[in-house]
Amino acid sequence: MAAALPRPLIDPFGRRIDYLRVSVTDRCDFRCTYCMPEAMTFLPRSEVLSLEEIDRLASAFVARGTRKLRLTGGEPLVRRGVVDLVRSLSRHLGNGLDELTMTTNGSQLARFAGDLAAAGVRRINVSLDTLGAATFARITRWGRLPQVLDGIAAAKAAGLHVKINMVALKGINDDAIDAMLRWTGAHGHDLVLIETMPLGTVDGERIDRYLPLSAVRRDLERRWTLAPLGDTTGGPARYVRVVETGQRLGFITPLTENFCDGCNRVRLTATGRLYLCLGQDDAVDFRDALRAGIDDAGLDALIDRALLAKPRGHDFVIARKRAPAVARHMSLTGG
């Protein structure tokens, strides 16, 4: 008899939710200016889910039709044992799960790229906002560019497909986008440009660095031929092909262009709260239930209940003298 198909997760707006992002730690070895303050306070370890708890929760989502899992953070590769988690979750690949992937700052990739590839990871996103060493140090505060470039090279050598995430920052890296396009094109990496989002307080004003990607795109079109591509990922990025290099270029524009209608994802924080939207506070706690010994049927019912809270969309606004739209940092919820 054929195995029963999983009951899909459908939210109140009829969207099928088949993508789970998991923040495996809120900690990080960088302090990117747009992400967190330099003196960031991290959570006590007891509040963070164990790797076994993450495995159980992620597996419960796979049993409910999740086809894509992304591990993120904080910096996922600074969490001890994360490769064991990847190996363990890879048992679902081909058994409901289509893709197991990661977003990383690349600092530890030289060490772990081979392990990730061996565990079944095929594609990773690496955050890299500039190819200039001084600007890189200015943005990440604690990062070193050569280490990240070595990590990206190791990922490529291990056969991982690399997508570079670049947050566009006015007056900081807006003059570095052409160089990034050429470099990613020459190395066969895709590039995704991201607008800075108002998540958590940082040192200084985010609005001073906010760069609308609509303007960036218009500017790029003066020098590059951008051929629109159909939306194939179901994600928030809108893709074009750069005719001169052949690579895909994506734009994530939460502020200039809302992408919520096609939303297919939910996010699990390092503390076991399921956020139904990156830009809203609706969340359901799973940690207490797990630690109280909830059985599989109870967990399944809790997932159904959580989905009912998924909002239609975010309402990010970048404005001066206004608290961030969402108080928690991206590093907790997982970008």
Q: What are phi and psi of 144, to 5 degrees?
A: -125, 125
Reading the block at residue 56, the tokens are: 């159980």
Would you report the helix, strand and coil content of the chain in percent, each value rounded to 5?
35, 20, 45
Q: Which is nearer to ligand SAM, 29 or 300 (CB)?
A: 29
Candidates 9, 17, 22, 32; binder of ligand SF4 (CB under 6 A) is 32
Using the rule CB under 6 A, which residue among 25, 33, 66, 72 binds ligand SAM?
72
Q: Is 103 in the site for ligand SAM (CB under 6 A)?
A: yes
- Choose one: 58-66, 70-78, 210-218, 239-247; the region binding ligand SF4 (CB under 6 A): 70-78
What does the alpha-carbon distance between residue 275 and residue 21 come to, in Å, rounded to a whole number? 10
Using rule CB under 6 A, residue 177 touches ligand SAM: no
The amino acid present at 170, given as its one-letter code, is K
Measured between alpha carbons, how far is 331 from 31 in angstroms, rounded to an integer? 10
Q: How far is the CB of 29 from ligand SAM (least distance, A)?
A: 9
Residue with tokens 């992304």: 70
Residue placing its CB nearer to ligand SF4 in the complex, 37 or 65: 37
Residue 223 burial (CB count, 10 A): 9
Kindly write out the interface string for residues 81-100 of this chain, putting x where it contacts ligand SAM by CB under 6 A and - elsewhere. --------------------
Say whether residue 335 binds ligand SAM (CB under 6 A): yes
Q: Is 73 in the site for ligand SF4 (CB under 6 A)?
A: yes
130 binds ligand SF4 (CB under 6 A): no
Angle between helices 109-118 and 82-89 (to 10 degrees): 20
- Residue written as token pair 């977003």: 103
302 sits in the region (left: phi over 0; alpha: psi -120 to 50; else beta) called alpha
Q: Give the total of residues touching ligand SAM (CB under 6 A).
A: 19
Task: Say which entry of ligand SAM, ligand SF4, none residue 184 contacts (CB below 5 to 8 A, set by partner kind).
Answer: none
Q: What is the size of the binding site for ligand SF4 (CB under 6 A)?
A: 12
Mark 9-28 with x for binding to ligand SAM (rule: CB under 6 A) and - for no binding.
Answer: -------------------x
Q: Which contacts qualify for 175-181: CB closer than 8 Å, 24 or more apart?
A: 176/129, 176/130, 176/131, 176/132, 176/135, 177/216, 177/220, 178/220, 178/223, 179/131, 180/128, 180/130, 180/131, 181/220, 181/224, 181/242, 181/245, 181/247, 181/249
Tell me how far, at minimum, the Cβ of 325 lies from ligand SAM, in Å. Answer: 10
Select from 48, 74, 130, 164 the one that contacts ligand SF4 (CB under 6 A): 74
Which member of 23, 59, 105, 333 binds ligand SF4 (CB under 6 A)? 105
Using CB under 6 A as the binding rule, whether residue 192 contacts ligand SF4 is answered as no
Binding residue for ligand SAM, selected from 119, 197, 290, 302, defined by CB under 6 A: 197
Gap between the Cα atoms of 218 and 271, Å rounded: 41
Cα 207 from Cα 201, distance rounded (Å):
12
Cβ contacts of 330 within 8 Å, gap of 6 or more? 35, 197, 199, 200, 278
What string marks each residue from 112 to 131 as x (binds ligand SAM by CB under 6 A) or -?
---------------x----
Q: In angstroms, how far is CA 196 from the centroid of its own chain?
A: 13
Does 48 contact ligand SF4 by CB under 6 A?
A: no
Which residues are near ligand SF4 by CB under 6 A? 28, 30-32, 35-36, 73-75, 105, 127, 331
Which residues are near ligand SAM by CB under 6 A? 28, 34-35, 72-73, 75, 103-105, 127, 165, 167, 194, 196-197, 199, 330-331, 335
